[in-house]
């Protein structure tokens, strides 16, 4: 394991800095249920999505993430249900999270052109770290003499307001925070904490040539540790901002780009990202993304990539879907 990568893994798993712990996806538009339970049922039919991300190619044991999600409305049109399964592995540490979402949707406006969805989420995660596999100079350090595994139940909440041409949402997928500190009893014991993450999303879909071309600007703001009682710990990562823009061609082909950066003084740019998605008329969808690293990590690693497979049920052979497609 390269020293730089090892240092990053240790900060993520056991360090005194409690950084951004949730994985970040470039194709977050298709994985919104992962960070906001109120998104459940918003496509008005059963939607399935599977994403695989490999970050920082060239690093041994670099972060690898898989996310599967599915959501649908019920027949009464008020209630949406969703399910998310996430597996994230980075060096000696990892987490597997299974969550279910419930959303209740209200129609707003004089012509009921808007919907406000309020969501709740419940789930359980297995947090683990193979500390004994880490190579250290002090072989007698008790902090690295054991492997850790914790089952962490949690619940979350979110709100999602959307119409035909815009959306905005706020999600907190895991409200409970957990102390993950080592229990060695030593004065210099390892300290770590599972922090609460906040996600703010907003975007619009603007038809440029009727059904032939649509334009969608969007943003995702992510923050870890806001309103948290961290004690001696402090959040080691500032708020992260994703700014994106994409074009939808003939209701079938998406092509977009995003820019990811931290919102803090003297923070470096993170990445410039490109993604595409192709929808077949039978509902099947393929996608891919490629991240170009802009930070100093580019000197030691290659870039990151994602691949995606999805299916939209109840899609007509002749599509008449609104170009908003959130």
Give the model's pLDDT for residue 217.
95
DSSP of 99-144: EEEEEEEEEESTT--EEEEEEEEEEEEEEEE-GGGS--S-TT-GGG
Burial 202-227 (b: 16+ CB within 10 A, else e): ebebebeeeeeebebebebbbbbbee
Does 267 score more than 70 pLDDT? no
pLDDT, mean of residues 34-38: 96
Does 149 score more than 80 pLDDT? yes
The distance between the two most distant Cα atoms of the chain, rounded to a whole number of Å, is 70
Average pLDDT, the chain: 81
Helix (H) or strand (E) holding 9: helix 3-13
Give the model's pLDDT for residue 300.
67
Domain presence at residue 310: no
**The model's pTM:** 0.84
Higher pLDDT, 51 or 301: 51
- Percent of the chain, pLDDT > 70? 74
User: Confidence class of residue 61 from pLDDT cuts 50, 70 and 90?
Assistant: confident
Domain presence at residue 302: no
Please write the tens of the pLDDT for every residue from 191-231.
567 788 999 999 998 888 777 899 999 999 998 877 666 55
Between CA 302 and CA 96 the distance in angstroms is 26
Give the model's pLDDT for residue 70.
97
Give the model's pLDDT for residue 191.
59
* Domain of residue 74, residue span: 3-54+63-240
pLDDT, mean of residues 139-161: 81
Domain presence at residue 289: no
Does 188 score more than 60 pLDDT? no
Give the model's pLDDT for residue 138.
57
Domain presence at residue 233: yes
Give the model's pLDDT for residue 96.
95
User: How many C-beta atoms surround the C-beta of residue 161 within 10 A?
Assistant: 18
How many separate domains does the chain show? 1
User: Confidence class of residue 301 from pLDDT cuts 50, 70 and 90?
Assistant: low
């Amino acid at each position: 394991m390269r020293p730089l990568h090892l240092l990053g893994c240790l900060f993520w798993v056991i360090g005194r800095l409690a950084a951004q712990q949730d994985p970040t996806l470039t194709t977050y538009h298709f994985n919104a249920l992962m960070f906001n339970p109120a998104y459940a049922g918003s496509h008005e039919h059963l939607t399935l999505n599977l994403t695989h991300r490999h970050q920082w190619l060239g690093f041994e044991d670099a972060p690898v993430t898989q996310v599967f999600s599915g959501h649908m409305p019920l027949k009464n049109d008020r209630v949406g249900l969703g399910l998310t399964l996430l597996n994230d592995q980075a060096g000696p540490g990892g987490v597997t999270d299974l969550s279910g979402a419930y959303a209740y949707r209200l129609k707003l406006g004089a012509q009921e052109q808007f919907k406000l969805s309020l969501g709740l989420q419940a789930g359980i995660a297995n947090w683990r770290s193979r500390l004994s596999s880490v190579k250290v100079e002090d072989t007698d350090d008790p902090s690295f003499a054991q492997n850790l595994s914790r089952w962490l139940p949690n619940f979350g909440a979110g709100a999602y307001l959307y119409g035909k041409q815009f959306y905005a949402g706020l999600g907190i997928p895991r409200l409970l925070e957990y102390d993950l500190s080592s229990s060695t009893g030593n004065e210099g014991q390892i300290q770590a904490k599972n922090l609460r993450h906040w996600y703010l999303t907003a975007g619009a879909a603007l038809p440029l040539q009727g059904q032939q071309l649509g334009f969608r600007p969007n943003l995702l703001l992510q923050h870890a540790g806001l309103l948290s009682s961290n004690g001696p710990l402090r959040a080691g990562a500032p708020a992260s901002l994703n700014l994106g823009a994409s074009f939808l061609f003939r209701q079938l082909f998406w092509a977009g780009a995003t820019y990811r950066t931290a919102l803090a003084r003297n923070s470096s740019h993170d990445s410039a990202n490109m993604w595409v998605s192709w929808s077949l008329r039978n509902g099947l969808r393929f996608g891919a993304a490629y991240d170009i690293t802009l930070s100093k990590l580019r000197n030691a690693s290659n870039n990151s990539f994602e691949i995606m497979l999805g299916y939209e049920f109840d899609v007509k052979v002749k599509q008449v879907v609104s170009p908003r497609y959130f």
